[in-house]
Amino acid sequence: MDSLADSRRQLRIALIAIAIVIPLGIFGFMVIEKFSFLDALWTTIITISTIGYGDIYAETSVGRVFTILLVIFGLSTFAYGLQAVFSFFVSQEVRDLRRVRQTERKIAKLRGHYIICGEGELVDKTIGYLLDLSEMRREHQDQQILGRVNANLGHYFGANETGIRAWIKKVVSRIEMLFLRILNPGETLLDLIVVITTDHSYAQHLRSENLLVVEGDATNHETLLNAGLEHAQAIVVMLGSDTQTLLTVLTANSSIDRMEDHEHADIYITAATFGDDMNEKMLRVGADNVIAPFDVAGQFLNNATLRPAVNDFFNHILFNEKTSEQIVQLFIYADSPWLGKRIGQLELHEKHHTGIIGLREADGTYLYAPNADYILTEGDILLAVTPGPYIPPLQEACRPGKSTRPVINKWRHEIFDDAPQKSEQTYSLMEAEEAIKQMSQHFVICGNDRVINNSIRKLSPDRPFVIISNSNEMTSRLLKLGFRVIHGDPTQEETLLKAGVDRALALMVSITQNADSVLTILNARLLSSTLLITATAPTDEMLPKLHQAGADRVVSPFRIAAQFVLLATTRPAVSDFMQHVIFNYHSGLETTELYMQDNSPWIGKSLEELLLERIFRAGILGIRQANGQYIYSPQGTYVIKENDILIITVPMINSDELRSIAHGTENKLPTTLRRKSILRNY
């Protein structure tokens, strides 16, 4: 029997028994001892409670027998009642019920929050990422407090770390941290999350992390309302079944349409899908954005392998919990004091240490690295990179006293047909092997999972790629598309040598079998110490193992997907901008990295001298300096130094010429990408 129902039954029995015993005691004393009603009630209560004051008592033999029986049955009844009451109020079900009520009250107070629907690895990685961000924020606040304490104590104790100074610093900082957390705990993204799940044990786990959870079916209208849909900013659907996800998106969109308050009709819906043919369907039933985890992981793997500096640049401002710089969206409302002004007039570099790397116009057109003469109009969204402490004053300057949250109503994404590209030249297997013998500084790709297939689908066979495949079907298909393919086992040194791994710039590995993945990386590293190796890890346990085997970067597909889901939900303009400029055949743009080596003719010149926008329609998003520090949207007066890496967005038709001129050599890539990279997990 359900324990809550059992506790309720016991409580009802106890109340009924008490309702019988007390009137029976009153009646007995009134009849037997001729007590008044009040005296009978008094005697019954003190008898059952065993207080027994002795001022009124039974004098007859029958009365005393009756009193004994009343004590036995009454005391048993009250003991049973107390046990039933205790069991009811301390039962797990009642505690859960109280927690549900508390959750309902907290959700009712939320405004502009995010609803996450689902359970499983993708949701778990998303929540884990949020927990990491929250912890990093707390550590950052603690470091700021310690800095203030150190500065203040320095006035009194000097610069020396004496024993008493260290002790006072520790005590004062702990007290200040405690008071700040009580008086001003601060709000993180984690405080604005409501999770809907049908998994009770998973809900309990999330509650232990202090998250707000609604247990129920996300396809149900009432469940969405219980999660505060009416006041939400966005909803993310990440269910294990694409059909369930589709139904949830349809229900959410239908619920939004039925809302009487049209102010909330712009709730943003993001859906995660696992089927290749579901994207268009999700958009048709009301999703604003669709994220395919394996597709996202494939894109990221491509970027980490082919454009490592570009990848690090965006990762630094988007997903790195430890960095101080962040990219924010600033919407130009009709009441913004920036409206009608040129970007240069705002003096963002000087006043806020801020660089504008992109801009979304009201009609949906994206501009990369907009110049200082651009005049801001209503509906523009600025993509600004700025240190964390400067974000509040920057938002205040953009729109004093009000929100700069972008208006995203009717912001629907277009899904392009990502059919694989085909070259005019095709190969037989023998012809491919002969062509590979002549190649150097190329990119080798090997794998057999959905991530690698999504990666290859976005690559041009005319570029210097060599693919290792042990699948007859995959080998035949890629040869017909014009790729150079080695058919064989990538774990074998002979196969890697045929692919020219010892002469290659980078190797991309995404193999389902963990042991094969480790062995492939080990052999490749033995063949080349300068090779940049990127790999995917199906589980978190594999991350350190692949690093130990020799991988420079290890991609966790679901962690990457979780990061992009959050990005697409909380900063959709930023997410769209990345997809628009990094490498997009539909927009005709790519973001490339130019290495300022000792033979580059650009070293010693200022950026404005290069006339990149006029000649190549190129815009500089940032510069990675030799010490690893980044400059975002650098000013034209910046003088290029040796070992700088320029992060430039340029039309694809101009990219090869731009690289050739910038590098000052026929060799369009550095001899190794590895020395410019950082060992990192994603």
Report the half-sphere exposure of 124 (CA within 13 A, side-chain side): 12
Q: Please report the pLDDT score of residue 47 as a whole number.
A: 73
3-state secondary structure of 129: helix
CA distances from 24 to 42, 49, 57, 61, 78 (A): 13, 15, 16, 18, 14
Report which secondary-structure segment, H or E, holds 162: none
State the Cα–Cα distance between residues 340 and 139, nearest whole angstrom: 40
User: How large is the greatest C-alpha to C-alpha distance in the chain, in angstroms?
Assistant: 121
State the Cα–Cα distance between residues 240 and 122, nearest whole angstrom: 9
Dihedral sign computed on CA atoms, order 235, 241, 244, 250:
positive
**Are the beta carbons of 357 and 622 closer than 8 angstroms?**
yes
CA distances from 628 to 363, 528, 624, 682 (A): 37, 24, 6, 19
Listed in sequence order, the residues at least 6 apart from 310 whose beta carbon sits closer than 8 Å to its beta carbon are: 303, 582, 591, 592, 593, 647
State the Cα–Cα distance between residues 147 and 70, nearest whole angstrom: 72
3-state secondary structure of 381: strand
State the Cα–Cα distance between residues 633 and 513, nearest whole angstrom: 42
Label residue 326 exposed, middle or buried (CB < 10 Å: 0-12, 13-18, 19+). middle
3-state secondary structure of 273: coil
Listed in sequence order, the residues at least 6 apart from 319 whose beta carbon sits closer than 8 Å to its beta carbon are: 563, 567, 682
3-state secondary structure of 622: strand
111 φ, ψ to 5°? -140, 135
Angle ∠(383,385,391) on CA atoms, nearest 5: 95
DSSP state of 33: S
Angle ∠(275,276,281) on CA atoms, nearest 5: 80
Find residue 171's DSSP bridge partners.
none
Residues of the chain falling short of pLDDT 50: 1, 182-184, 262-264, 676-679
State the Cα–Cα distance between residues 236 and 129, nearest whole angstrom: 15
> Beta strand pairing status for 325-331 and 289-291?
unpaired
Find residue 193's DSSP bridge partners.
114
- How many C-beta atoms lie closer than 10 Å to residue 671's C-beta? 12
Q: Which residue has the tokens 């202090």?
A: 210
Per-residue 3-state assignment (H helix, E strand, C coil) for 568-607: HHHCHHHHHHHHHHCEECCCCEEEEEEECCCCCCCCCCEH
Report the half-sphere exposure of 250 (CA within 13 A, side-chain side): 11
**Are the beta carbons of 349 and 355 closer than 8 angstroms?**
yes
- How many C-beta atoms lie closer than 10 Å to residue 206's C-beta? 21
544's tokens:
């350190």
CA distances from 161 to 143, 144, 152, 158, 491 (A): 17, 19, 13, 8, 55
Is pTM beyond 0.85? Reply is: no
> Beta strand pairing status for 630-632 and 619-624?
antiparallel
Dihedral sign computed on CA atoms, order 384, 388, 389, 395:
positive
What amino acid occupies position 517? S
**Are the beta carbons of 210 and 138 closer than 8 angstroms?**
no
State the Cα–Cα distance between residues 259 and 263, nearest whole angstrom: 9
State the Cα–Cα distance between residues 189 and 440, nearest whole angstrom: 47
Q: Please report the pLDDT score of residue 111 as a whole number.
A: 85
Q: Please report the pLDDT score of residue 474 as a whole number.
A: 92
355-360 β-sheet, strand order: 325-331, 381-387, 355-360, 366-368
Q: Please report the pLDDT score of residue 677 as a whole number.
A: 47
